A and B are shown apart, each in its own frame.
Chain A
Amino acid sequence: MAYDHIPLDDEFKALAAFDWGADAAPLAKLDAAVIACHGDAALTADLERRFGEIVTGKASRAAKEYACRKLSMIGTAASVPVLAPRLADPAESHMARFALERIPVPAAGDAIRNALGSVSGDLAIGMISSLANRRDAASVKPLAALLGGDAKLAAAAAVALGRIATPDAAAALAAAKPQAGPVADAVIDARLACADAFLAAGDREAASTIYRSVAATVGDAPKTHRSRAVRVAAQSGLLACLDDTVAP
């Protein structure tokens, strides 16, 4: 459906009253407007403001979810204050994060990182997941701080550090000394991810240091599929570090 520059008042009214199962025809016009606003700063700002009003208003969960999806496409720093307070609400956290994760301004990352300090449990894992997807280097410190705590958070934080894969992240992972179990596994996965990233960037020495260290964790005769796979990862990584006939 093409956007024909109508005022969209009726459509936003319909969205404010929208719920699952209702007539979705008005939403198609909003979809079109979001596509059409590309390169039109004024229209984008207007749409962003109005979707923000849905998010902060008394609309249904379905309507807010819809608005968050749209903000994920056109949201700017202006949407961060709208979305950030939702991160702590179990019913709205994911969709607020859905939008924030995609908004390519530092303030969006700041908001998610800040929320990490104020939420717990699954909501915190959600923040960690989004920080990982943003490869948010500024999050290394708070993520590293989680490695020694709650097991689920620690495992998620380890995975995120592996995705971020900076030298700081690798150092934090190397310093973690989790007991055997899911956290230890996640740390190993993350360390391998860091090593692979270093190797790909041409830092064979840093990579081989990690591969060797990881290989040591699985012992001489790993017997489980998991530990054998880890050994394969470390061994092939070490070979790749030595073999400079192949570009990293």
Chain B
Amino acid sequence: MRGLIEEDYTTQEGEFVINIGPQHPSTHGVLHLKVWLNGETIIKVQPHLGYIHRSIEKMSESLSYRNFIFATSRMDYLAAHINNEACALAVEKGLQIEAPPRARVVRTILAELTRLSSHQLWWASTGLDLGAVTPFFYAFREREAILDIMDETCGARLTQNFLVPGGLMADIHPNFQKRTKEVLKQIKENFKEYDELLTENVIFQNRTKNVGILNKQDALSFGVTGPTARASGLSCDIRKWAPYSAYSMVEFDEILDEGCDSYSRYMVRMKEMRQSVNIIEQLIDNIPEGDFQEKTKNVIKLPKGDFYQRVETPRGELGVYIVSDGASSPYRIKYRSPNFSNLSVLPELAKGCKIGDLVAIMSTIDLVIPDIDR
């Protein structure tokens, strides 16, 4: 950790330092990387954080339990629904209530749609980072259709805020099931195009295979989660290990890969998209009838104590830790964000690589910067 914080490295002759970011298109936001180079070879990488810190954790301390959820949409903005779900589940845990079955199934469907759209955006930007501009538009075509589902039911494309503690804010839109089925049919046909455009492309394969080797031990000790860890053979899918919402009702595979390199991280996400389609297909015709919301009191007060809930976002494990002193707003909230832990392994992976590989490693770790700073 010492190497991460202190600039204790003095450059030798022939070595130099460059700054990538904070405003560089390949850093997906405002990530600032200080890179020590010898020619083209990376000696050391140091991420600088804090450019997009909005103090969401501190802000939540003055908001009620119903209101603090909206701010988490702005953490990992590509998986806003799943962030909201984590908070809603944590509050429900404190209240010792459970959302009705209808709400749980709809939450799961929306979460998997979110995962699909997030992975599609990742696929688009990975291609873009590695020089393939065309895939970007193909991924956005399907992503737009998914965002239309979100728009129709939740009222917003990205920052949905469709959940309240106890269930959903409103019932699903009458068109929800029909539209979702149409979109899934289209997406399943288009997976073939994805493979032909990028997966089988020789330039892409050469740039990602055997680049950024993350072994299982490192993944474990750096706290890496999500598809990045699963590509190193580390089984860490929260949906399997600690099922929440309706994940215990469905059958799906946890995608594992032993390749450990950027290409296997890519493949894990590609296969996960197909699993998400599989999960939605199992649930979309079986949405139970009934209430969409468990009644809660006007002013929600959690009992004294602490409550922890973790969920699987497209990038890994998100944990919400609420400390309550019995008042109507939380005493302290801590988010364990997947991207912060995943970023911590980047300097380790990039050591010894070429400068061009840094972009490949960064894009296959799939960082979303606002989630790192919060």
State yes or no: do A and B come from one complex. no
Hey, which bits of chain A sit against chain B, CB under 8 A? none
Hey, which bits of chain B sit against chain A, CB under 8 A? none
